């Protein structure tokens, strides 16, 4: 399924941040994703972004209009059209001069909100008991239940073994 950049990449970044280890270097996570940080994060920004990630996790647990509107209301969203780096015109939701944590918040909130409006069932949490991973369902039929093939296989093997006994 093809998503627009904010429903796709931004929502994928939200999932990546939620799935990151609690003490992960967030600048490195952003950089490896391709969200090129212009500035670093000071201690206060890092703390605010980690709290934001906790809030994103709540959306994956139960995506609702109220939760997503709450996230959007907390951002410094100011949409504008950008043509940087020779790219075709595309939307940005925060000014590039804004603090990094504010830019990430605006980007991920807009991405999850866009995805929710287009296909709310595509925001998911792994169905394997004990797994806390989240995902954006980009499968053709939109029926993904697990974060990975590994979790899916574990559940299906356990179900098979229960039936065989």
- Asked if pLDDT for residue 2 goes beyond 70, the answer is no
Distance CA(142)–CA(165), nearest Å, equals: 32
Residue 3 in contact with residue 11, Cβ under 8 Å? yes
Q: What DSSP element (H or E) covers 73?
A: helix 65-74
- Asked if pLDDT for residue 108 goes beyond 70, the answer is yes
pTM of structure: 0.87
The pLDDT-based confidence of 7 (bands split at 50, 70, 90) is: low
Minimal CA–CA distance to 58: which of 67, 50, 47, 49?
67
Cα angle: 60, vertex 78, 92; to 5 degrees:
70
- Asked if pLDDT for residue 141 goes beyond 90, the answer is no
95 is written with which tokens?
A: 């000014």
Minimal CA–CA distance to 91: which of 72, 76, 110?
110
pLDDT in tens, 49-81: 999 999 999 999 999 999 999 999 999 888 889
Identify the CATH number of the domain defined by range 9-122: 1.10.3300.10
Backbone angles phi, psi at 35, to 5 degrees: -90, 90
**Three-class SS state of 40:** coil
Residue 71 in contact with residue 53, Cβ under 8 Å? no
**Domain residue ranges of the chain, discontinuous segments joined by +:** 9-122
């Amino acid at each position: 399924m093809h998503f627009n950049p904010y429903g796709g990449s931004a929502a994928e970044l939200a999932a990546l941040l939620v799935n990151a280890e609690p003490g992960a270097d967030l600048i490195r996570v952003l950089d490896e994703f391709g969200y090129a940080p212009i500035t670093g994060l000071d201690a206060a920004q890092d703390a605010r972004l980690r709290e934001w990630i906790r809030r994103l996790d709540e959306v994956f647990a139960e995506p609702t209009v109220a939760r997503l509107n709450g996230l959007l209301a907390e951002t410094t969203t100011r949409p504008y059209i950008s043509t940087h780096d020779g790219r075709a015109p595309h939307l940005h939701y925060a000014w590039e001069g804004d603090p990094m944590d504010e830019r990430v918040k605006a980007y991920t909130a807009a991405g999850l909100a866009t995805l929710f409006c287009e296909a709310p069932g595509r925001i998911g949490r792994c169905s394997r008991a004990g797994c806390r991973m989240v995902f954006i369902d980009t499968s053709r039929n939109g029926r993904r239940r697990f974060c990975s093939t590994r979790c899916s296989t574990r559940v299906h093997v356990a179900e098979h073994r229960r039936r065989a006994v």
